[in-house]
Every structure is written in C-alpha cells, then in structure tokens.
Amino acid sequence: MKLPFRGFSAILYKEFLVVFRDPLTLFFMFVPPLIQLVAFGFALDTDVKHISTLVLDEDRTRESRELVDQFVNTQTFRVVGEVHSVTELADAIRRGQAYVGLQIPPGFTRDLAAGRTARVQVLIDGSNSTIASSSLNTAINVGFRSAMLRLVARTGMRDLPVEVRPQILYNPEMRAPNFFVPGVIGLVLQIATMFATSMSLVRERERGTLEQLMVSPLSRWGLMLGKLVPYLCIAMLMAAGLIGIMQSVFRVPIAGDIRALVIATLLYLFALLSLGLLISTRAQNQIQALQMCMVFILPSIFFSGFIFPRETMPWIFYAIGTILPATYYIELQRAIVLRGACLADSWANIAVLAGMGVGVFSLCALQFKQKMA
C-alpha cells in the first residue's frame, strides 16, 4: 500500500513537460554556463608574460644593452620605451604606463670591468601582486644568472657547478586554462543546478499547486526524486557540453579515465541538485531561495581551491571548503583531466560526493513536512 516512491513517475512526467515547455528557462539554464565558461576560461589567466617595461639606460654600452636583452629574453618583460631620468621612470610607473622600470646606472660597465659589484635597479609596481611577484622573481633570476656566468668565466669552468633541471608533470607548459577551466566547469555547473532545483518547490508553493500535491497520496521520496531526475539529465547534458568546450576551445585534453569523470560529474550534480531542493523545502518564496543559494555559491568560488590553494588558508576557511561539494569535484576534475587519474585513484573523493548527495537528498525527503503548520 505505502510505496516509498509513490507518485514518482507522475512528477517525472510533469517536470519534464514543464522544463521543456518553457524555452526561456531552458535557454537561461544552458546558455549562460557556456558563455561563463568561455569568458572565465579566457579571463582567468595567471600566465604573466610580456610585462610592459621601461628602460633607463644611463650606461649606454654593449654590456648594458646585453643586460636589457637578457631581461627581454625571459619573455617576462617587454620593453615599451626608453626614458631619460629617474623621475621620468617613476612618473611613468605611477601613471600605469609600465609595470616595471629597469635602471642601469652610468658606471655599470666600468664596475663590471673593475671587478666591483655592478648595480642595477629594478622598479616594480606592487599594486598588482601577481605581476609584481613574477617580475621580482624573474629579475632576481636574471641577475643571478648573469653574475654566475661571469664568475664561471673567471674560474675557467665550462659549466655552472650546479644545475637544477625541473620537470613539470601533467601540465608541462603550465598553461593556466588547464588549471582553471576544470574548476570553472565545477562552479558553472553549481550555479545552474542549484538555482534550478531551489526554485522548483518554492514555485509550487507560491502558486498553490504544492497544496494539491500534499493532499494526494504522493510520497515525499517520490516527489523529491521526480523533481530531481529531469534536472539531473539536463545538467549531465550541460556538463558534456562544457567538457566538450574545454577540449575544443581551451585545448585541455582529458588525460584520465572518462568513466571516472562521468561518475564524478553525476554524483556532484546529484549532490548540488539535492542541496537546491533542500533550499526549496525551506524557502518561503523565490527571493529567499535565491539568497540561500548565494550563501553556498560565493564560498564555493573562494574556499574550494578553485583559485587559491586551500592548504594556505586559515583553518576556518579550510573547514568551510571541506563541506563544499565543489571542493571535491574540482579536485577530481584536476586529478582526472590533468593527472590522468583513474577510478581507483579517485575513490575517496568520489565516495565523499556520493555520501553528500545521498545525505542531503535523504534530508530533503525526511524533513519535508506534508503539512503547512
């Protein structure tokens, strides 16, 4: 008599009709995530290259020009002009004409020749920390290397005494899209899915159709699953589209097991849709539902390890990251897509996502009261 999923197929039938009946809703579910992925994917580029640089060469010798070339050859700096005084250099940086100023003082070659320390000044605009730190590292490296080569020449050795040969695995060119695009997919999916289900029960409450459902013998598990499944199908399609864009537009290949990626995505979406439903059972109107979604979405951007590594966060933010599904999914994405992980490598994160999904979904059904008061 009491079937646990009673009414599921009726709700499923209705939800599919409702979703596909309204092209505008479908459009707003599908198109913004695709645009967001492309936009964020291109915008989030921390590959700092060709930083605009001004040169104040007061030495004007072959050695000084060679030094400038060494800076340029790192690809980090790009000479945009020459200036003729320190004030001019400082002014140009303040005005934002260049991020870096390279000043080579008059006695540079003379000091070199005499075996004294030849000094070079590099002015760096610190207002953009990414550019500043990259400039700083490169400038110091250029200095070290130049100094080393001169010392080596003096001792008569043919090569540097120590040479470090770094080998970067999984993302050898250190391309930013490889790092960011999988994360962006996770976030974009989260926004689209949570909004979709968080509205669904609230809308019925506002319209009065929820009452009609509550007087029927529909079971709450049937209701929740019927509401969730259509969106799960749509979201899986959307995920496939996003991953397709990742491969074709951003040229990020999937190194790992595609089945693991599918399973991870399915569980992630299930967890998010359940979270949206949970919001929907609590919110009294659509505005409230929207606000509650934002509570989850903003931390997912900052605390999931999407941009900033979680390990360096204060413990409280690290803890917040621990309870966000996005944290696990983004980690899984990077593992599977970049590091070529297979199902067996990723089981721990997959299990966490599965647990979150089943837990939140059960909570939805159990705490949903089929009474108004």
Q: How far from 82 is each of 72, 78, 85, CA to CA, in Å?
A: 14, 12, 10
Q: How many helices (H) and strands (E) does the chain have?
A: 14, 4
Least Cβ distance, residue 269 to other proteins (angstroms): 24
Which residues lie near other proteins (CB under 8 A)?
Answer: 1-2, 6-7, 9-11, 13-14, 17-18, 21-22, 207-209, 211-218, 370-373
User: Cβ contacts of residue 76 below 8 Å, gap of 6+?
Assistant: 48, 49, 50, 51, 134, 135, 138
Distance CA 87, CA 273 (A): 59
Least Cβ distance, residue 223 to other proteins (angstroms): 10
Structure tokens at 82: 């020459």
Judged by beta carbon, residue 214 or residue 290, the one nearer other proteins is: 214
* Helix (H) or strand (E) segment spanning residue 235: helix 220-248
**Buried/exposed 100-118: b ≥16 CB within 10 Å, e otherwise:** bbbbbbeebbeebeeeeeb
Judged by beta carbon, residue 209 or residue 247, the one nearer other proteins is: 209
Residue 120 gets which letter from DSSP?
A: -
Judged by beta carbon, residue 8 or residue 77, the one nearer other proteins is: 8
Strand partners, 81: 54
Judged by beta carbon, residue 9 or residue 130, the one nearer other proteins is: 9
* Helix (H) or strand (E) segment spanning residue 233: helix 220-248
Distance CA 56, CA 66 (A): 14
Judged by beta carbon, residue 24 or residue 344, the one nearer other proteins is: 24
Least Cβ distance, residue 24 to other proteins (angstroms): 11
Least Cβ distance, residue 261 to other proteins (angstroms): 34
Distance CA 93, CA 53 (A): 9
CB-CB contact of 146 with 119 (8 Å): no
Judged by beta carbon, residue 13 or residue 170, the one nearer other proteins is: 13
Distance CA 78, CA 94 (A): 18
Distance CA 270, CA 229 (A): 9
Least Cβ distance, residue 318 to other proteins (angstroms): 43
Least Cβ distance, residue 274 to other proteins (angstroms): 22
Is 358 strand, coil or helix? helix
Least Cβ distance, residue 272 to other proteins (angstroms): 24
Least Cβ distance, residue 372 to other proteins (angstroms): 5
Judged by beta carbon, residue 96 or residue 217, the one nearer other proteins is: 217
Distance CA 279, CA 200 (A): 10
Judged by beta carbon, residue 16 or residue 302, the one nearer other proteins is: 16
Judged by beta carbon, residue 57 or residue 204, the one nearer other proteins is: 204
Least Cβ distance, residue 191 to other proteins (angstroms): 24
